Amino acid sequence: MKLTLNKFHVKDIQFAEKSSFEGGVLYIDKAELAEYLLKDSNISSVDFDIARPGESTRIIPIKDVIQPRYKKSGTGQIFPGFVGDVETVGNGETNVLEDCCVATSGKIVAFQEGIIDMSGPGAEFNSFSKMNILVPLIQPIEGLDKHTHEATVRIAGLKTAAYMAKQTLELEPEETQSFEHETILEMGVKYPDLPKVIYVDMVQCQGLMHDTYVYGLNVKGILSTLISPLEVFDGAIVSGNCAAPGHKNATIHHENNPIILDLLKHHGKDICFVGVLLSNESAMLKEKMRAAYYTSNLSRIIGVDGIIASEEGGGNPETDLMLNCKFHEQKGIKTVLVTDEYCGRDGASQGLADVTPEADAVVTNGNGNQFVVLPKMDKIIGDIEAARVITGGNANSIGDDGTLSVEIAAIMGSCCEMGYEHMTTRLR
Amino acid sequence: MKRIVHYINQFYGQIGGEEAADLKPLKKEGPVGPGAALNAALSGEAEIVSTVICGDNYFADNGDEALETILAMIEEEKPDMFIAGPGFNAGRYGLACGTICDAVKTKLSIPVLTALYPENPGAEMFKKTVYIIEAPMTAAGMKDVIPKMASLAKKLLSGEEIGFPEEEGYIPQGFRVNFHTVQNGAERGVDMLIKKLKGEPFTTELPMPVFDRVDPAPALKDLKHARIALITSGGIVPQGNPDHIESANASRYGIYDISDLSYLPADKFTSVHGGYDPVYAMDDPDRVVPLDAMREIEHEGVIGELYDHYYATVGNTTAVSNAKKYAEEIAQDMIKNNVQAAILTSN
Amino acid sequence: MSIKYRCISNNPLFREKSFPGLEYHETDILSLFRLISSEVASGSKLLSHPLTGSIRPDITPYKTVLISCEKGEPDCTSVLLMEKAIRYTEDLYKLREVPLYERWGEAAKADFQMIDYSIIKQALEVSA
């Protein structure tokens, strides 16, 4: 399969009479986009706001972050199961808006966190602060239950992202990037001497605000399954996970899965990157065991020499991560784990909820318990009350001057467990 | 120029060896012994104005009193910094270095520094609160340690930011701090996997806690004819503590006769353990060393017999390496005395 | 159908819904975990992971854990998992002078209850 990403770099987003992409500026006709979103009868009203790098702006609470993409050619359409139908994606051409994202905001539950600061110390903890961000503010109809509310906001975000990228459909890209990925049997013939590697992508599927969708299917209760890396680039995996912003895998992380991107860079050179095994993180212990046994057995059936596994969230997912490590290593399959830590304010605690001696190769993406003081911002997009509520509604955590003392775990994507950011911890 | 007070023991203070270990604290002007080299390495940015010297045993045996005297001697000098050692792998000296550094830091609020071998109990106890340069086991490594001490001392004095252990040479204090990297986490992970696949060395970013697991010995086939011994790390010893087992960081263990006893009477046995409230143990030492219960099952014939001595030490902050050494010796003694199994109680 | 689990919870929503197998305790998560730990030590098996969901035990006031009805020899995995969960929770409780879970208003509490409830319901749907 071959997929080409046509890249358009967004220097600014502006509201205009007519939606278009011109000279690096994405113009958005609010009325047209609103009309598109309001086709969902669960939405009573929608408004939009823009946040730009360097501005004194805070977006809170954020549910999901999505990179605008739209398929120009090939089968299926972006975000299959939501925007596109369920036809297979991952081939042809896909237009991508770089340096740009959609951040869905709005209050679904009372305590929700997820901060993006466009400037100041908070901006140093994620890449989103360096992007031009369109924020749809979705007002649901009255009496909508929380599950439907979450789904409504999720789908509106995906539609917004697709709408934005669609503006480039007739344009020549500034840059293209092509990926080719053979069938597994072809790889075996083509790279007989390279070590075979699988990426185990653990996704959370545990209930309200804790779910992940593949081709629109909530993957709770599935047996581990195989997916092509190129399908993932076309939005085959969508996040419905709204808790723990510092280390949840947002849709943009899936679309740009950094582990897949790096494995593809090495593919055919020093490793043979066979594909991606999707494995869910259940709340039940038997499911966790089943998933790890099943995943490690799939790796064995395929004939893999090594895996790299990433988790989503913290606490119980560490058990899945450690089981995957243990069972793969027991089968002689070399394993690397990607995680983050909650090792306390001073970094002296044991930062994982579960450990195993086989885990001798672990990448950490930071300590989510580090506290950071976020200065007052001139503009808040989203819900001003959320800023008060995320730190437990304690007046002490908000200074008289409007500063906010939070853990970096409240900052969107700060310790991304796919290794999207450039952070680790060091022992001192 | 910044003023430093230096602490060394009787040996490095050129007063004497073990025979002088009871030396009371004294103070000399300027650098003494290793202080000379340290002073030179400070290259004029700071100087050792005086040196406090104390015998290892005196400090170990006179706890708070010795510490008070030494603290007063240091405070008089109005120093900008305090340095102790290097103490290498000397247990008593290392503990003194760590204890005094920690106390000076708390009481005088000035930077402190020492240098010890990582397994020195002084390092294990104080590395979290005191910067301790990693020293080799013996004084043969003096010339490597002094420049590192001087370099870190200068930074501490100037308030410069202190780097990571690998850069500065101190023993990791156990704090994991966020650090921005050039490569993203995914690239680091894939590189690690490629190295692991090739069998090349790699460094995990998050070492797992040390799993020091001991496989259990096979079960006894015949309990009814077995000779069983009691061991405790809970510090139960005969009144008067005949072997002078320390209440913390024990440097020895004892073997005590219980052949004529059916329980441990409170007027004959006591607890010297410094790490728990000993009231209940002193009230009835069988609560820690269950001689009474063992005699009962011995009488019932559940076990063959109870070995007529028990082994005791104090587990409180005792270095694992020392505990291992005692265990090896105790095991040998048991084998010699035909003991087939043992029950180990803590506190 | 007979119920094959005991549902140990400090989430009042389970009580409101008269959830089958419920053993409700009005206490914090750490105490609830300690209580489960002693059940596990006496031979109950953990069926669900104690740290369900992505909301930390120092943030949400509510967790619900499913354990087996039958008791047997203590299950090593369950015992160790409870130990690790307790240590993890203790460490997180130390983060702030007053842990977050003690600070929420009624609306937030209701949402935490609903999410915890949704997780256990989904767990039972998937793993019958």
Residue with tokens 């509201």: A15
Strands B81-88 and B112-116: parallel
Inform me whether the pLDDT recorded for A264 exceeds 90.
yes
CA distance A384 to chain B (A): 29
| Distance between CA atoms of residues A413 and A65, nearest Å | 9
Determine the distance from the C-alpha atom of residue A44 to the mean position of all C-alpha atoms in its chain, rounded to a whole number: 27
Judge whether A25 and A11 are in contact, CB under 8 Å: yes
Give the pLDDT band of residue B100 (cuts 50, 70, 90). very high
Q: What percent of chain A has pLDDT over 90?
A: 90
Inter-chain CB pairs, A–C, below 8 Å: 148
Evaluate if residue A393 carries a pLDDT over 90: no
The yes-or-no answer on residue A416 being catalytic is no
Sign of the Cα pseudo-torsion (A340, A342, A345, A348, in order): negative
The model's confidence at residue A161, banded by pLDDT at 50, 70 and 90, is very high
Yes or no, beta carbons of A416 and B185 under 8 Å apart: yes
Nearest CA in chain C to A210: C53
Kindly tell me whether chain B and chain A come into contact, counting contact as 3+ Cβ pairs under 8 Å: yes
Look up tokens 């240091």; give the residue.
B74
The predicted pLDDT at position B184 comes to 98
Please indicate if any CB of chain B lies within 8 Å of the CB of A127: no
Residue A313 forms contact with C (CB below 8 Å): yes
Position A397 scores a pLDDT of 56
Strand partners, B230: B310, B343
Neighbouring chains to B with at least 3 Cβ pairs closer than 8 Å = A
Interval B320-331: pLDDT, tens: 777 888 998 999
Q: How far apart are CA A250 and CA A242, in angstroms?
A: 9
Distance from CA of C45 to the nearest CA of A (A): 10
Side chain identity at A322, as an amino acid letter? M
CA distance A338 to chain B (A): 7
Whether B286 shows a pLDDT value over 60: the answer reads yes
pLDDT digits over A281-311, tens only? 999 999 999 999 999 999 999 999 999 999 9
- A422 in contact with B at a CB cutoff of 8 Å? yes
| A362 contacts on B by Cβ (under 8 Å) | 204-208
Q: Does A322 touch chain C (CB under 8 A)?
A: no
* Tokens, residue A143: 């009496």
Tell if the CB–CB gap between A258 and B185 is shorter than 8 Å. Answer: yes
Least Cα separation, residue A15 to chain B (angstroms): 34
User: What pLDDT, on a 0 to 100 scale, did the predictor assign at position B136?
Assistant: 95
- Give pLDDT, residue A396: 53
Q: Would you say residue A395 has pLDDT above 50?
A: no
A400 to chain C nearest CA, in Å? 19
Residue whose pair of structure tokens reads 């306390």 in the numeric block: A344
- Contact at 8 Å (CB) between B249 and B316? yes
Distance from CA of B212 to the nearest CA of A (A): 10
Q: What is the per-residue pLDDT for B275?
A: 78
- Alpha-helix runs per DSSP H in B17-90: 34-41, 56-61, 63-76
Confidence of residue C2 (pLDDT cuts 50, 70, 90): low
* Residue A106 pLDDT level (bands cut at 50, 70, 90): confident
List of chain A residues whose C-beta atoms are within 8 Å of the C-beta of residue C52:
206, 283, 315-316
Please answer yes or no on whether B184 and A347 come within 8 Å at the CB atom: no
Chain A residues 337-396 with a CB less than 8 Å from chain B: 338-339, 341, 343, 346-348, 350-352, 355-357, 359-367, 370
SS (H, E, C) chain A: CEEEEEEEECCEEEECCCCEEECCEEEECHHHHHHHHCCCCCEEEEEEEEECCCCCEEEECEEEEECCEEECCCCCCCCECCCECCCCCCCEEEEEEECEEEEEECCCCCCCCCEEECCCHHHHHCCHHHCEEEEEEEEECCCCCHHHHHHHHHHHHHHHHHHHHHCCCCCCCCEEEEEECCCHHHHHHHCCCCCEEEEEEEEECCCCCEEEEECCEECCCCCCEEECHHHHHCCCEEEEECCCHHHCCCHHHHHCCHHHHHHHHHECCCEEEEEEEEEEECCEHHHHHHHHHHHHHHHHHHCCCEEEEECCCCCCHHHHHHHHHHHHHHCCCEEEEEEEECCCCCCCCCCCCCCCCCCCCEEEEEECCCEEEECCCCEEEECHHHHHHCCCCCHHHECCCCCEEEEHHHECCCCCCCCCCCEEEEEC
Alpha-carbon span A31 to B180, nearest angstrom = 42
List of chain B residues whose C-beta atoms are within 8 Å of the C-beta of residue A359 = 204, 208
B190/A266 Cβ within 8 A = yes
Helix, strand or coil for residue B58?
Answer: helix
Out of A101, A205, A242, A325, pick the active-site residue: A242
Picking from A305, A341, A426, the nearest residue to B179 by CB comes out as A426
Helices A146-166 and C106-126, packing angle to 10 deg: 90
The domain limits of chain A are 2-410
Lowest mean pLDDT, pick from A87-101, A394-408, B211-225, B268-282: A394-408
Query: Is A287 near chain C, with CB under 8 Å?
Result: yes
Q: CB contacts < 8 Å between A and B, how many? A: 153
Contact B22, B57 (CB under 8 A): yes
CA distance A125 to A422: 9
- N- to C-terminal Cα distance for chain B? 51
Chain B residue with the nearest C-alpha to that of A416: B185
Please, how many CA atoms are within 13 Å of residue B187, restricted to the half-sphere of its CB?
9
User: Which of B176, B180, B202, B208 to probe the A interface (max A CBs under 10 A)?
Assistant: B176
In the predicted structure, residue C114 carries a pLDDT above the cut 90: yes
The per-residue pLDDT for range A353-390, each reduced to its tens digit, is 999 999 999 999 999 999 999 999 999 999 877 777 76
Q: Residue B126 and residue B129: Cα distance in Å, rounded?
A: 6
Q: Do C123 and A282 touch (CB under 8 A)?
A: yes
Per-residue pLDDT tens for C62-110? 999 999 999 998 898 999 999 999 999 999 999 988 898 998 989 999 9
Flag if A306 and B182 touch (Cβ within 8 Å). Answer: no
pLDDT (0 to 100) of residue B211: 67
What's chain B's average pLDDT?
A: 94
Q: What is the pLDDT of residue A391?
A: 58
Give dist(CA A369, CA A407) in Å, integer.
5
2.40.70.10, 3.40.50.2300, 3.30.565.10, 2.60.40.10: CATH of B2-164: 3.40.50.2300
The more confidently predicted of residues A112 and B22 is: B22
- The domain locations on chain C are 5-126
